Chains A and B, each alone.
Chain A
């Protein structure tokens, strides 16, 4: 059946391989890049410690900050370290050398949980400012609020886009199996006439569907391998620019095996159904 129209069969396999590569590629992207992207939007707030606060009080203050809702961790930045860092970053180090003593206070930098709600961050900043030995709190929330809104908007669009793509994959895959397993109704009537049972008539359709999707699944894995080879270097560069590790990894072997086996089964089932429909249509033409 597939060998009778080799050009059409080959085209169908290529089309389905590309269609199947979409969800597989999306899965790999989610696995490889998703966790790294989830870490990107992290809000921070800085609590400047009042002058004269002892180490023990700083430690207590740090613990109280960690207990505030939405806080992931607290990092202590001593005033000397902050001053050295400021001098290092400044363009005119001469000007800083003349300022004595160090005017900066000790600081406790609060990092919030990834993708924390902006309202949570605002509330935490207010709570921080009310703690004893906290002189002031600096929290730039507006950029974070805009970033979270962008992420939420993208997610809201991604879901329907993913559903549409999934539907397209199903339509393309099943449509290709149907076209590849179409036979002359006269041949089906002949089989009917000589006393072939339904299972006998449907068998070639089942085999053809399974072979078509099985080969397409293997082709899809090949496409994925090529895509991974091409995408990983630029992804790695992008990740380095943001201080995260970005890479596409192959799905686990059990999942790959299930994918190929599932493709074979779906192809066989589709062939069985389409074969049955063609037989019924051929009989109706008598």
Chain B
């Protein structure tokens, strides 16, 4: 898979770097505290922690969706907090995110939902359709004309994953897929994520517990109450 992030990283520089990052919601709620973490290119990271540990918050910081309350995040050597809006949009196109509760646009078909990132990155409609079909094939989803309201939660998650990979991201963030999928589907997804990592995509997978089959060449990171365990 090609990476669209334009970087000038040397091979020994991490792809994602968090330096003493904290994230606070409101005045009192500290979701993450002083996280220092490096993730290398093409690495497959399992981020394990219970409910409320801060996994989703960490993924949102790594995905340049939210800024840190303190500390610094670097993705591909760049600090998203210092980017202009168009630069930030360009960075986000090279990051695929699948949140815990993925939002699909109800008025549009599965194919149109998956095409959306490709259209937003100025692909032609034909290219966007081709990419979307390829992405849906990879996640083994066939019913491209279905509407999101007709899908099970597991199916919605697979469609969201297809949307996340349609632009061939350099960084893929997947939030707790296992709890939404049956055992076979979860295993298939893990296998798929391994394939992405082998092909050069940096993958961070968040889960409440360690999967039954831990992917080879993956790194385990534990998060408890907003700090690295």
List 12 A-B pairs, Cβ < 8 Å. A4-B107, A189-B103, A193-B65, A194-B93, A194-B117, A194-B120, A194-B163, A195-B92, A195-B93, A196-B120, A198-B86, A200-B120
Contact partner of A197 (CB less than 8 A), chosen from B65, B86, B105, B163, is B86
Residue A63 at the chain B interface, CB threshold 8 Å: no
Additional A-B contacts beyond A4-B107, A197-B85, A286-B65 (12; CB < 8 A): A187-B105, A190-B103, A191-B116, A191-B120, A193-B63, A194-B117, A195-B91, A195-B167, A196-B89, A196-B120, A197-B86, A198-B89
Q: Name the residue among A189, A194, A286 with the largest chain B CB count within 10 angstroms.
A: A194
Residues of B within 8 Å of A, CB-based: how many?
22
The minimal Cβ–Cβ distance linking A286 to chain B, given in whole angstroms, is 6
Residue A186 at the chain B interface, CB threshold 8 Å: yes
* Cα separation A240 to B115 with both chains bound (whole Å): 68
**CB-defined contacts of B91 to chain A, threshold 8 Å:** 195
Residue B66 at the chain A interface, CB threshold 8 Å: yes
As a 0/1 sequence over residues 178 to 203 of chain A, the CB contacts with chain B under 8 angstroms (1 = contact) are 00000000110111111111101000
Contact partner of B117 (CB less than 8 A), chosen from A186, A189, A195, A286, is A195
Residue B97 at the chain A interface, CB threshold 8 Å: yes
Chain B residues numbered 140-179 whose CB sits less than 8 Å from any CB in chain A? 163, 167
The minimal Cβ–Cβ distance linking B99 to chain A, given in whole angstroms, is 8
As a 0/1 sequence over residues 91 to 120 of chain A, the CB contacts with chain B under 8 angstroms (1 = contact) are 000000000000000000000000000000
* Cα separation A192 to B93 with both chains bound (whole Å): 10
Contact partner of B116 (CB less than 8 A), chosen from A186, A189, A194, A197, is A194
Main SS of chain A's interface residues?
helix
The answer to whether B66 touches A197, judged by C-beta atoms less than 8 angstroms apart, is no
Chain A residues within CB distance 8 Å of chain B: 4, 186-187, 189-198, 200, 286
* Cα separation A196 to B65 with both chains bound (whole Å): 12
The minimal Cβ–Cβ distance linking A3 to chain B, given in whole angstroms, is 8
The minimal Cβ–Cβ distance linking B83 to chain A, given in whole angstroms, is 12
Closest to B60 in A: A286
